[in-house]
Structure formats: C-alpha cells, structure tokens
Amino acid sequence: MDQQQRQEIYETARQWIYEAGAQIRGHMNEPLDIETKSNPNDLVTVLDKQTEKFFVDRIHHRYPEHHIIGEEGFGDTLSQVDGTIWIIDPIDGTMNFVHQKRTFAISIGILHNGVGEIGFIYDVMDDTLYHAKRGEGAFKNDSQLAPLDKEKKIKEAIVGMNHFWLCDNKVVDYTVMQKFVRTVRGTRTIGSAALELAHVAEGVQDAYLALSLAPWDVAGGIIINAEVGGIAGDVDGNPWNPLKRSAAVVANPSIHNYIIEFLKEGRK
C-alpha cells in the first residue's frame, strides 16, 4: 500500500467512523434489544450489529477487493492475511455501553499483507479519536502523541488489567499475579480493551494485560501503539497474530520485557 492509497483509505474510514459514532449517539436511548452470546455477561445489542453492518456495507461498495474481520460476523472468515483487511470492533466495551452509556469505542485496524497500516480508536461519547498511519505518527484528535518514555520503571507503572488475573485462570498462576500487582504503582480496569490500548499509546497508562482478546479488540490499538514505540504481543512475548485470539500484553517498551519475564514465573 503506497502513501497515497493509505491516505485515501484513512480519510474515508475516518469519515465513516464519525458518521457511525453520531448514529450510535443518536439511537442509544432507544430499545437496545440486548442479547447474550457466549455467557450471560457477554452482551450484544442491535447497535453493535447495525454499526458493524454500516462499515461492511460501505467497504463492500467502495473497496470490493478488501477483506473484513468483524466481531459480529458480517465480515469474512479468513485463514491468511494477504491483501487489505479491515479488522472491526463496532462497539468495544458493550457492557459499558449498556450499563454506563459511556467508555466504549469503535475500533478499526487496517492491515495490508499482514502489516498494520491504519489504526483508529474512537471514544464515541467523548468524541475523541485516536488514530495512526504507519510511519506517520499517532494522534489524539489533532495532537500528535509523544514517543513513550523509555525510562519508565515498573514500580512507577500504571497497569490496566481486570480482576480475573487474580482468580484461578488458565494463563498464569494467580499468586504470581498477586505479587505482580504489588510490584507496580497501580492498576486500572476500564472495560474497553481498545481504550486501554489508546491510554497506553497516550502514556497515561503504561501497560495493558488481557487473559483473552480477539483480533478486533486490539487491531486498531496495536497499530497506534507501534507509532509511539508501544510493544504488543502475547503473554509469552511472541508478536501479535491478527488471525488468532490470545492472551495479550501491550506495554511501554521499557517495561514490556520485565512483564513477560514476571509472567513466565507463573505461566501455565
């Protein structure tokens, strides 16, 4: 993908994101037709589905050769990363959306032949857009984000993670995680993986750990983080695979390796 193509797709996607966000804000107080998916706490609403459909219809019409991976199933099932792929989470943080009516985001990552080219995370209620193009820096609205602090110390780090890390889980011995949360300065849980990644890129949080994330939770955020030096991968330190669900660590470069080594101690 050359710079001109990247710019054209970026501008088109950005306009669609603002439109989709306005539609969510305009309809969110109407009945949401809430359903559950894998378990009673895994929610989906009519606006998750309509928003994904909004993007899929427009992409099919304007870029018929592009592929789509979307959470709500309107996209394609892909087994390889050739060509241009849009990875879409129409509403990341559906539980926040339903219960709190805030702190949720539209998240989109656009890859070409497996390389992250364009990333967006749109905090819909805050009207804040985090965005990046490969090699051109990352931005929060019109302000460029600074490269991440290379001197960050683990004992001064704020880490996003949810409380399941401290319960029995399949990834890491929770007693090791109890030690971990006492090692860092503080922990936070905001309920939207995409916004957690945006905060790592912004430098207001230094890492985000997740026990299981899908490609659409992180695609936009990983591309944005790459522009400021944020490192993303699985809990064993392997690079991110855009076709696979996995546990994830996204962190400031000066503490990423420390976290991976810490997790090794309790890795199952």
Contacts to ligand IPD from residues 150-189, by CB under 6 A: 162
Binding at 191: pick from ligand IPD, Ca ion, none (beta carbon under 5-8 Å per type): ligand IPD
Residue 52 binds Ca ion, judged by CB under 5 A: no
Residue 191 interacts with ligand IPD (CB under 6 A): yes or no:
yes
**Whether 163 contacts 190, CB under 8 Å:** no
Long-range contacts of 94-102 (CB under 8 A, 24+ apart): 94/43, 94/44, 94/45, 94/48, 95/41, 95/43, 95/191, 96/190, 96/191, 96/192, 97/28, 97/45, 97/47, 98/32, 98/34, 98/43, 98/45, 101/28, 101/125, 102/126
> CA-CA distance, 22 to 124, in Å (whole number)?
8
Number of residues that bind ligand IPD (CB under 6 A): 11
| Least separation in angstroms between CB 220 and ligand IPD | 12
Binding map of ligand IPD across residues 81-100, x = CB under 6 A, - = no contact:
--------x--xxx------
From the list ligand IPD, Ca ion, none, partner contacted by residue 192 (C-beta under 5 to 8 A by kind)? ligand IPD
Structural contact between residues 175 and 166, judged by C-beta atoms closer than 8 angstroms: no
- Taking only Cα atoms into account, the Rg of the chain, rounded to an integer number of angstroms, comes to 18
Note whether 123 binds ligand IPD by CB under 6 A.
no
Identity of the residue, 154 or 248, whose beta carbon is nearer to ligand IPD in the bound complex: 248
CB of 144 to ligand IPD, least distance (A): 26
Give whole-number Cα distances, 148 to 40, 152, 214, in Å.
Answer: 38, 9, 25
Q: Segment near Ca ion (CB under 5 A), from 3-11, 21-29, 52-60, 211-219?
A: 211-219
**In the complex, what is the shortest distance from the CB of residue 77 to Ca ion, in angstroms, rounded to a whole number?**
17
* Angle (nearest 5°) at CA 195 between 46 and 62: 55
Whichever of 12 and 169 has its CB closer to ligand IPD, that residue is: 169
Binding site for ligand IPD (CB under 6 A): 71, 89, 92-94, 162, 191-193, 213, 217
